[in-house]
Amino acid sequence: MPKASRTAPLSQPEQPSQHVVVGLGPVDPAIVGDVLGEDVTFVPDPTPDDLAVAEGAIVRADRHVDEDLLARAPRLRVIARTGVGVDLVDVAAASARGIPVVITPNSGSRAVAEGVLAMALHLTKRLRPLTDLVREGRWAERNSVPVGDLDGATLGIVGHGRIGRRVGELAAAFGMRTLAYDPYSPPPPEIARADPGELAEASDVLTLHVPLTDETRHLVDEAFLARVKPGAVLINCGRGALIDPDATLAALKAGRLSGVGLDVFDPEPARHHPLFDHPDVVLTPHLMGMTRRAMALTFVDAARGVADVLAGRPPTAVADPDWTHRKAMA
């Protein structure tokens, strides 16, 4: 049976035998309880008193961890972020205190990759306008909607990490040729392209999976889109600021792009942009990596990372590559 989680505040600041781990944002106690172990009390709705004695925190993607929160959690030894993005976590401040920021890079990769292929199919097979034809009794107009194929098409992957590689594996099952560009981890030579523009020129479907940095912000801009193969589909399940929405809308209107799929936005929650109203755009609210199975795996991986640190073991993956196990033990 899963270990019960306490929701009432701790009455004593000293913790005689139990480690205290808090949830920041909705975290399923039934999933994390067994992973954390019998010597851990998990508090899903922490009070200030709980934060004051917490040694670990499992943090959802939309929650901030800044210097103020760290100051209110002086006993904190580990932060586990559900997912890989740490935009809202002050990793430098945590590292300065020897606190590893654990990430969970494996749990949602397959779900995101499936989301990319779902968007590619939706846009290539023109499901929205075809649905409208049937719904509105315009069957005779069906030949006016050009339906494309993934079989024989070229997929261009910008960012060849875990998700990008998995998208390539799925694309192969559809008979797609795969090319890739990654400024940080070069793909195999047989599929690599020297720059994103060269990749854009050769790809029927482009999918973005690079991290957001100063160099990749608005990677998809007017210059990039000028090199896109006419009629290409663009999908962004990476970070919202990888694309310039104004330039993307202009490329759609000009026919340079035939469809755009967006799961991520800048900022989030998304503020309305005219791009959203274009009929060849499909939108999802940053949920492609949050399927039922993926979320359960994410909670398990986050809890395992916390348990590892509390037990004196190095966690599997951390956001700060310069953090070492020895820092936490010092």
Please give the share of the chain, as a percent, with pLDDT higher than 70.
Answer: 93
**Could you state, in order of their start, the residue ranges of all structural domains in the chain?**
19-106+292-329, 109-283
Work out the average pLDDT over 64-87.
Answer: 93
pLDDT-derived band at 325, boundaries 50, 70, 90: low
Q: Given the residues 126, 165, 239, 256, select the one marked as catalytic.
A: 239
pLDDT at 187: 96
Identify whether 239 is a catalytic site residue.
yes
107-147: pLDDT as tens digits: 899 999 999 999 999 999 999 999 999 999 999 999 999 99
Query: What confidence category does residue 12 fall into, taking pLDDT thresholds of 50, 70 and 90?
Result: very low
CB contact burial 181-192 (16+ within 10 A = b; e otherwise):
bbeeeebeeebe
CATH architecture under which domain 109-283 falls = 3-Layer(aba) Sandwich (3.40)
Q: Is the pLDDT of residue 276 over 50?
A: yes
Output the DSSP codes for 59-106. E-TT--B-HHHHHH-TT--EEEESSS--TTB-HHHHHHTT--EE--TT
Q: How many CB atoms lie within 10 A of CB 235?
A: 27
Which residue(s) pair with 19 in the sheet? 40
Closest of 297, 307, 320 to residue 109, by C-alpha: 297
Q: Is 40 helix (H, G, I), strand (E, B) or coil?
A: strand
Confidence at residue 2, expressed as pLDDT on a 0 to 100 scale: 47
Condensed to tens digits (0 to 9), the pLDDT of residues 18-28 reads 899 999 999 99
Do 30 and 52 contact (CB within 8 A), yes or no?
A: no
Structure tokens that stand for 200 in this block: 């854009």
Helix ranges restricted to H, 100-220: 109-124, 127-135, 162-173, 196-202
- Is residue 16 pLDDT above 50, yes or no? no
Question: Which amino acid belongs to residue 330?
Answer: A
Residue-wise pLDDT for 227-250, tens only, equals 999 999 999 999 999 999 999 999
CB neighbour class for 254 (10 Å; exposed up to 12, middle 13-18, buried from 19): exposed
- Taking residue 159's Cβ as centre, other Cβ atoms within 10 Å add up to 27
**What is the reported pLDDT for 324?**
67
278 given a catalytic annotation? no
Assign 176 a pLDDT band (cuts: 50, 70, 90).
Answer: very high
230/226 Cα distance (integer angstroms): 9
Please tell me the number of Cα atoms within 13 Å of 127 on its side-chain side.
9
330: tokens are 């010092």
Beta-bridge mates of residue 78: 56
| Predicted confidence band of residue 330 (pLDDT cuts 50, 70, 90) | very low
Q: Is 268 a catalytic residue?
A: yes
Q: Give the per-residue pLDDT at 30.
A: 94
pLDDT grade for 15, boundaries at 50, 70 and 90: very low
Among 286, 295, 288, residue whose Cα is nearest residue 266: 286
pTM, two decimals, is 0.82
Please compute the mean of the pLDDT values over residues 194-207 and round it to a whole number.
97
The pLDDT score that the predictor gives to residue 321 is: 81
- Pick the catalytic residue from 81, 110, 286, 304: 286
* Fold agreement (19-106+292-329, 109-283): yes
* Model pLDDT, residue 17: 56
Which class does domain 19-106+292-329 fall in?
alpha beta
Q: Which of 268, 273, 278, 325 is catalytic?
A: 268
